Amino acid sequence: MADVAARAGVSRALVSIVFRNQPGASQETRDRVLQVADEIGYRPDSAARLLARGRSRALGVLFTVHQTFHADLVEGIYAQAEHHGYDVLLSATAQGRSEAKAVEALLSHRCEAVILLGADATTADLDVLGQRTVAVSVSRRMPGSLIDFVHSAEGKGVRQAMDHLVGEGHRRIVHIDGGRGPGSAERRRAYRAAMRRHGLEAEIRVIPGNHTEESGIEAGRLLVAERDAGEPLPTAVLAANDRCAMGLMMALARSGVEVPKEVSVIGYDDSHLSHLMPVGLTTVRQDAGLMAEHAVGFAVRRLENKTLEPQEAVIDPKLVIRDTSGPPREV
């Protein structure tokens, strides 16, 4: 910076003004400074800038590498953050990299806010985080939590899916749940309620699972094993999410069970891949773009106006009927 200032024949302060696009420099000086900077390859150091300015204008995003729906969200967050003039810092959880570690990384880089995509932490953990910084949780419901929260109306989504299945004539509808995953508790509850509402209380069955393909595969194996032992297959399965649904379909296909002929499958998320599968997956669409917009909006509003109450946005999901659901065989 000093070099640029010297070569352009101005003070460092003026170079700073030029690079921050602030008033206080004539157009010709601006041009000269920028040209000199370009010549010697100068670029402002964001660490020093951050340090001096006292704020980073950066939003930290915690996501999971293999969670395809997170990719959709991240894409939306980039766009929204840019719109609000914020930087985005990504930190991923992965095998061998815990959520806590990923969050630490974000905080040590002085993110002003942290957006958690489907966090795995407890409410207490999040509240602690919320004390330390501005935090927004996407998907994972945090009852009574202090932090902001964006989620889809899980109940509505599940209800639409269940109404669709029952409307097609299904009765033996099984739910693979998402364990401690975000939104799972609500979906589980909505599944039970819908079954009851349709007079199918006796058929309620929840198979424990999570949000990975593996859990779908396991559930599929379980169901096939039961069939081989003489029990009837369910006629429809509501999976924890799209990935789980994919795993399930793989397991079923391997055992020669046809979808949707013998078993209908419904996913959740409408992640980027779900409409690109060999067979279009019937699923509940969560609008990633809209969720990203709210998440970033919440974070920004908190940052500009410290004294806000916890905010919450509920996005209406929408059932997308594709090829993996249809009437049951028996009907």
Partner DNA sequence: TACTCGAACTAGAGCGCGCTAGTAGAGCGC
Partner DNA sequence: GCGCTCTACTAGCGCGCTCTAGTTCGAGTA
- Determine the residue type at 312: E
Question: Which residue of 31, 38, 39, 45 would you call a contact of DNA, by CB under 7 A?
Answer: 45
Tokens found for residue 84: 């609000």
Where in the chain does DSSP place strands (E)? 58-64, 87-93, 113-117, 134-138, 148-152, 173-176, 206-207, 236-238, 264-269, 282-285, 312-315, 318-320
Angle at CA of residue 118, ends 66 and 274, nearest 5°: 50
49 binds DNA (CB under 7 A): yes
Nearer Cβ to DNA (14/115): 14
We find the least distance from the C-beta atom of residue 316 to a copy of itself, in angstroms, to be: 24
Asked whether the beta carbons of 157 and 186 are under 8 A apart, the reply is: no
CA gap 91, 156 in Å, rounded: 31
Question: Which residue of 31, 51, 128, 232 would you call a contact of DNA, by CB under 7 A?
Answer: 51
Stretch that binds a copy of itself, among 13-21, 151-159, 177-185, 243-251 (CB under 8 A): 243-251
Asked whether the beta carbons of 236 and 173 are under 8 A apart, the reply is: yes
CA gap 197, 295 in Å, rounded: 33
Asked whether the beta carbons of 115 and 147 are under 8 A apart, the reply is: no
75 binds a copy of itself (CB under 8 A): yes
We find the least distance from the C-beta atom of residue 104 to a copy of itself, in angstroms, to be: 8
We find the least distance from the C-beta atom of residue 87 to DNA, in angstroms, to be: 13
Q: What share of the chain is helix, strand, coil (3-state, %, to 5)?
A: 45, 15, 35
329 binds, among DNA, a copy of itself, none (CB under 5 to 8 A by kind): none
Question: Which residue of 213, 218, 242, 293 would you call a contact of a copy of itself, by CB under 8 A?
Answer: 213
Task: List contacts with DNA (CB under 7 A).
Answer: 1-2, 9-14, 16-17, 19-20, 22-26, 29, 42-45, 48-49, 51-54
Task: List contacts with a copy of itself (CB under 8 A).
Answer: 41, 43-48, 50-51, 56, 65-66, 68, 71-72, 74-75, 78-79, 82, 87, 89-92, 94-97, 104-105, 107-110, 132, 213, 217, 243, 246-247, 249-250, 252-253, 259, 272-273, 276-280
